Structure 1
């Protein structure tokens, strides 16, 4: 189905929907799942694989696997669901009462995520988030970008845990590529018993690619309408006596840090940078 009711009971097209909200079937009002990629967008009914009971089982097994991995690394004082009174939170795993690990299986919006992360930071407790359940995927999409962290050996990265196959998937060297910020990354998998190899892994981050803008992309920019896009095109023409499309012809586009809301072509044409909300990137965006 290509439309569903949102949380406010308003009919919403799948193309205009996001992964943060909940949606319901127009006919039976049962929960539906948003399926969305570069080529298509639609809703489908939840199945037994997506119900709460199954989600709890995935979460429980994942936590057990994380605890096993920590024991392999030599950690002893590992507590589950320890209650932090001052912030009224129960993190999934607390290591030596110094480091928190959260295994995030259910969808969470960026406001709630930021609040949780900031509450841990207020207590000066480092927190690591591992994705699973509804976030588990063999590729990264826009819903994953708010979880991105930075580590020098891996660049911008995020970690997923496939509890069914007892496997950790590292997505690293994450970048935005081309005029429309296509997500590019590398991926490497480790079994739980090989957790030490994950921590010792050092990626080759020096590879760079640049491609010339193509006619289809130029035509897409030419047809793009809207208040902000029109203002950018007009301002660019007034300053350069040249249209955005003519300026971009034969321009080469490389990669950007995965921290920008703006498409790369807009940044090149002078639009003020707007950053994605990413609570795990605590330093200045430009310094990462």
Structure 2
């Protein structure tokens, strides 16, 4: 930790502490040790076998450095370092004060379970406090798919789906924003930094390469009798189709919402299997699409978007279905009848 207390309970930053004085943990009041040297960030550490819970996790130098840098980035007058919230028995890395609001900022460099992440977030929320998770730069290379990103993804009208990082070696905030999922299940979108740079996070794959990749994946899954693929193939059989024969239009279903940990092309293929059972000129309603999505949901592992509200998830599924319909309209398969219904004018090929 970066801040401890004197015997008189006055807060002291590790960089200003005197080696010959005693300092104590603001949570458990155990005596702590000052650690400061030319090769480490100044900090206080509990002694071995400490029973302190809020300060029990050991912190890397990158974590300590990042906290100092973030405090400087947000502005000293706007930030409180490591405040202990006694009611919750929690301490955010920083408490950001802006426009009369208090926001807990957690700088996460090490792995953390979904359960522990939820517990911390819910604790702050129950206290009427927003929480923002900022990831260490070691996460930049680790997060490539929805599976890696699911517990960190947040949504806003301005940024779409986004994740925030802090880089320590060249201090700057990095925001991956307007994130979507490509046909193979990888994240794509934009990355911008607090220094003003913006770049494409991941270029889109071509339809040709996606088709080749997914056909190979399906072929191998069925050949080796992998349960997931066998179950999907059985679904297709029951609806007079084959997984290997998914219509060409499905390979164009990219830029999907991060709602499943898998390929949105396969999701679109199963939706289209149900669509193809309908005769031409049929009326397809919004309710039909919602029922189909619910029916095929058992074939996909849903992403754990724990940073989102129920309403945000409902809205996300609405956008997903709208994207699917838009694609079918562009291909001349559906024709809008009214806001929530369409006419099937041609079967997908």
Per the normalisation by structure 1, the TM-score is 0.67
Cα RMSD (Å) of the superposition?
3.1
**Alignment check: 8 A CA contact 1:131 1:160 kept:** yes
Distance 1:171 1:277, change over 3 A: same
In structure 2, runs of 5+ residues without a counterpart are: 1-44, 46-57, 272-295, 317-349
**Alignment check: 8 A CA contact 1:100 1:128 kept:** yes
Distance 1:144 1:182, change over 3 A: closer
What is the aligned length? 221
Residues 224-259 of structure 1: CA deviation (Å, up to 9, x unaligned): 1322321221121221x2211112456333221123
Counterpart for residue 168 of structure 2 = 163
Counterpart for residue 275 of structure 2 = none
**Alignment check: 8 A CA contact 1:104 1:133 kept:** no
Q: Does 1:87 align with 2:88?
A: yes
SS of equivalent to 2:155: strand
Counterpart for residue 211 of structure 2 = 214
| Higher relative contact order, structure no. (Cα contacts within 8 Å, ≥ 6 residues apart) | 1
**Alignment check: 8 A CA contact 1:148 1:157 kept:** yes
Q: Does 1:115 align with 2:142?
A: no
Listed as ranges, the matches of 1:94-243 within 5 Å are: 94-96=95-97, 98-132=102-136, 134-137=138-141, 140-141=144-145, 142-178=147-183, 180-191=184-195, 211=207, 213-224=210-221, 225-239=225-239, 241-243=240-242
Residues 94-133 of structure 1: CA deviation (Å, up to 9, x unaligned): 1237211111111112221122111111222101111115
How far residue 184 of structure 1 moved from its aligned partner, in angstroms, is 1.2
In structure 1, runs of 5+ residues without a counterpart are: 1-52, 192-196
Q: Does 1:69 align with 2:73?
A: yes
SS of equivalent to 2:104: strand
**Alignment check: 8 A CA contact 2:162 2:178 kept:** yes
**Alignment check: 8 A CA contact 1:169 1:189 kept:** yes
Q: Does 1:284 align with 2:280?
A: no
Distance 1:157 1:167, change over 3 A: same
Q: Does 1:58 align with 2:55?
A: no
How far residue 160 of structure 1 moved from its aligned partner, in angstroms, is 0.9
Counterpart for residue 320 of structure 2 = none
Distance 2:313 2:160 in 1: 13
SS of equivalent to 2:174: strand
Counterpart for residue 23 of structure 1 = none
Counterpart for residue 27 of structure 1 = none
Distance 1:140 1:235, change over 3 A: closer
